[in-house]
Amino acid sequence: MADNISEGKRRVVVLGTGGTIAGRAATAADNVGYIAGQVGVTELLEGVAAPTGIALQAEQVAQVDSKDMSFAIWRRLAERCAHWLAHADVAGLVVTHGTDTLEETAFFLQSVLAPVKPIVLTSAMRPATALTPDGPQNVRDALAVASSPHAQGVVVVCAGAVHSAFDVQKVHTYRLDAFDSGDAGPVAYVEEGALRELRRWPVSPPEPARLCFELMRHAVQWPRVEILMSHAEARGSIIDALMAQQAGTAEPVQGLVLAATGNGTLHEALEAAALRAQAAGIAVLRATRCVQGRILPTPSAALRDAGALTPVKARIALMLELMSIQAGGA
Ligand code: SIN
């Protein structure tokens, strides 16, 4: 653990979780054939100057390719974030993370922590060993945001843009500017270490988050919520098969998120099966598979909608809601 705390300085704590930003390839020319999650967070900070008046501290929380993100890592990461945020001299946190599930982790942390101080997730599209890696500049920008007195809540910093955890989505497979906030647009830009703010920082009410934090910490098993997509010739048989195996499995499905077409519409066969599942006690939520916009509610809808949440974020919201219901909290 790197620890260069200096007397009287505010701290930014950098938590490493792996990803391409910590990836290593056999040759510097290779931007895609690398192994993610190889370089330690302390090493990632070498050569990156701390913002003026800020001391950096590093902690390795995990070392994974974020496609393999797990509830166990989320729990540990949320606990470490809560631990560091409670220190008065900690201005904010930076979390280095893979790009593939970054938006899920960001939304999860916002949901269970609702922090007043900034938690800034950052990443890279090229491995640390690349000829021109993008990670060091992203880390530099993330440190600028985490130490800013204006920044709040969980945000993602990539390619000079600051995105809120609510809106951010990975939208490109290889470009360095791989994230987008859709209609909402970014919260700010980082311009040579200075923030140009465009809109309000993301905030959510702290009380539900506090409850979720305690529930997720102590839950032996987090509710199983599956995502299914509606598409041409979609079948209800996948839902029926899940329902049929409920009694014999140690981890029964408790919720379904349906990645719906357009304004939350579903293939009639999938919808019929989803209604059967809902009648049997499964929580069902529709989220649009469109990359922009939100579901505008229709009063007659028999299945709830997730508004602006993407299917992966709706899944997290439903999982936390189920935890809360099971604990008698809602
Ligand atoms: C990962 O998500 O861990 C690998 C891909 C990336 O970071 O771009």
- How far is residue 162's CA from residue 175's CA, in Å, rounded to a whole number? 17
CA nearest neighbour of 233 among 270, 258, 260, 264: 270
pLDDT of residue 315: 98
pLDDT at 202: 86
Query: Average pLDDT in the 165-175 region?
Result: 97
C-alpha 4 – ligand 1 centre gap (Å): 28
Q: How far apart are CA 320 and CA 257, in angstroms?
A: 13
| Cβ atoms of residues 157 and 142 within 8 Å | yes
Contact 118, 155 (CB under 8 A): yes
Q: Are strands 253-260 and 283-288 parallel, antiparallel or unpaired?
A: parallel
Query: Is residue 201's pLDDT more than 60?
Result: yes
Asked whether residue 122 carries a pLDDT value surpassing 90, the answer given is yes
pLDDT of residue 309: 97
pLDDT at residue 162 above 60? yes
Indicate whether 216 pLDDT > 80: yes
- Round to whole Å and give the CA distance between 189 and 171: 18
pLDDT at 45 over 80: yes
Counting residues of the chain whose pLDDT is more than 90, the rounded percentage is: 93
Place of tokens 């054939």: 33
Fold for the domain defined by 221-329: Rossmann fold (3.40.50)
The ligand 1 atom at the shortest distance from the C-alpha of residue 102 is 2
If you average pLDDT over every residue of the chain, what do you get?
A: 95
pLDDT at 271: 98
CA-CA distance, 145 to 61, in Å (whole number)?
Answer: 21
DSSP state, residue 94: E
Pocket test for ligand 1, best of 66, 77, 170 (most atoms within 8 A of CB): 66
Kind and range of the H or E run holding 241: helix 237-244
pLDDT band at residue 7 under the 50/70/90 scheme: low
pLDDT surpasses 50 at 1: no
Place of tokens 């007043």: 116
Q: How confident is the model over 128-137, as a mean pLDDT? A: 97
Does the CA dihedral 229-234-239-244 come out positive or negative?
A: negative
Dmax over Cα atoms in the chain, in whole Å? 65
Q: 239: which 2 tokens?
A: 């839902």
Structure tokens at 28: 């510097």
Write the residue with the smallest CA distance to atom 7 of ligand 1: 98
Out of 44, 77, 99, 172, give the residue to mutate to test ligand 1, the one with the largest number of ligand atoms within 8 Å of its CB: 99
User: Distance between alpha carbon 138 and the CA centroid of its chain, in Å?
Assistant: 17
Q: Where are the domains of the chain?
A: 10-197, 221-329
Question: CATH topology for 10-197?
Answer: Rossmann fold (3.40.50)
Secondary structure (3-state) at 117: coil
Q: What is the pLDDT of residues 65-115, one digit of tens each?
A: 999 999 999 999 999 999 999 999 999 999 999 999 999 999 999 999 999
pLDDT(5) > 90: no
As given in the structure block, the two tokens for residue 287 are 């989220």
Polymer length of the chain = 330
Helix (H), strand (E) at residue 264: none
Distances in whole angstroms, Cα of residue 194 to Cα of each of 64, 124, 215, 302: 31, 20, 38, 48
pLDDT band at 6 (very low <50, low <70, confident <90, very high): low
Same fold, 10-197 and 221-329: yes
Query: Which amino acids are annotated catalytic?
Result: 20
**Band of the pLDDT at 2, cuts 50, 70, 90?**
very low
What does the alpha-carbon distance between residue 227 and residue 255 come to, in Å, rounded to a whole number?
9
Nearest to 290 by CA among 252, 257, 261, 316: 261
21 DSSP 8-state letter: G
CA distance 23 to 64: 10
Q: Is residue 148 exposed (0-12), middle (13-18) or buried (19+ Cβ within 10 Å)?
A: buried
Ligand 1 nearest-atom number relative to CA 37: 3
Q: What is the mean pLDDT of residues 288-298?
A: 96
With pLDDT > 70 as the criterion, what percentage of the chain qualifies?
Answer: 97
Nearest to 304 by CA among 317, 293, 292: 317
Query: What are the pocket residues of ligand 1 if the criterion is a CB atom closer than 6 Å to any ligand atom?
Result: 18-20, 36, 65-67, 98-100, 123, 125
- Between the CA of 174 and the centroid of ligand 1 the distance, in Å, is 10
The confidence score (pLDDT) of residue 63 equals 98
Q: Distance from the CA of 246 to the center of ligand 1, in angstroms? A: 33
